């Protein structure tokens, strides 16, 4: 199963409220699942999780295919691709590694830091900076993303 899933609003609410009777493995799957890996990979990572758990989460509307939602959200992101930060490599590297977890959360922030460390030159880091701002906008909203843009010297989008 190569299909990717992410939590829906109902799934995020269920994580907080714990109102539905889910098996332990289904609940653990719901807690860790995001669109970064295919469903089959998440099943192998969560001990005791089965395809039935994945189907139960999907039928309950707690997880869904991320593609339609991302297309709608990407229409709202208005960061021009040509806009790059005036910061030097070391400054961008330092900013992204210091602030990734703060703005994106522990897991996504950690992944972002790993991607920052893989960037070998300034253009690669600038491209990652664009993605960082987009992910901050998705996670924290436009106001926080605008603060990050200003801190990076990107100005108003």
Q: Tell whether 36 is covered by a domain.
A: yes
pTM score: 0.47
Task: Report the sign of the C-alpha dihedral through residues 83, 142, 91, 117, in that order.
Answer: negative
Q: Tell whether 74 is covered by a domain.
A: no
Last residue of a domain, one of 69, 102, 122: 69
- At residue 79, the pLDDT reads 44
CA dihedral 149, 152, 153, 157 (to 10 degrees): -20
Over residues 35-53, mean pLDDT: 86
Q: Tell whether 21 is covered by a domain.
A: yes
Question: Does 41 have pLDDT greater than 80?
Answer: yes
- At residue 70, the pLDDT reads 46
Question: Does 151 have pLDDT greater than 70?
Answer: yes
Domain limits at 113?
89-152
- At residue 156, the pLDDT reads 60
| Same domain flag for 60 and 19 | yes
| Same domain flag for 97 and 134 | yes
Alpha-carbon distance 152 to 85, whole Å?
6
Number of domains in the chain: 2
Q: Tell whether 41 is covered by a domain.
A: yes
Question: Does 129 have pLDDT greater than 50?
Answer: yes
């Amino acid at each position: 199963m190569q299909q990717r899933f992410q939590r829906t609003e109902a799934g995020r609410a269920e994580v907080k409220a714990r109102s539905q009777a889910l098996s332990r493995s289904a609940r653990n799957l719901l807690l860790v699942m995001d669109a970064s890996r295919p469903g089959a990979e998440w099943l192998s990572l969560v001990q005791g999780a089965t395809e039935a758990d994945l189907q139960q989460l999907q039928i309950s509307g707690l997880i869904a295919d991320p593609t339609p939602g991302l297309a709608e959200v990407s229409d709202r992101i208005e960061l021009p691709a040509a806009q790059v930060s005036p910061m030097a490599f070391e400054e961008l590297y330092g900013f992204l590694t210091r602030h990734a977890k703060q703005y994106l959360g522990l897991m996504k922030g950690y992944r972002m830091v790993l991607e920052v460390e893989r960037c070998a030159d300034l253009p690669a880091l600038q491209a990652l900076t664009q993605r960082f701002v987009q992910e901050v906008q998705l996670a924290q909203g436009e106001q926080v993303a605008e603060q990050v843009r200003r801190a990076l010297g990107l100005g108003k989008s």
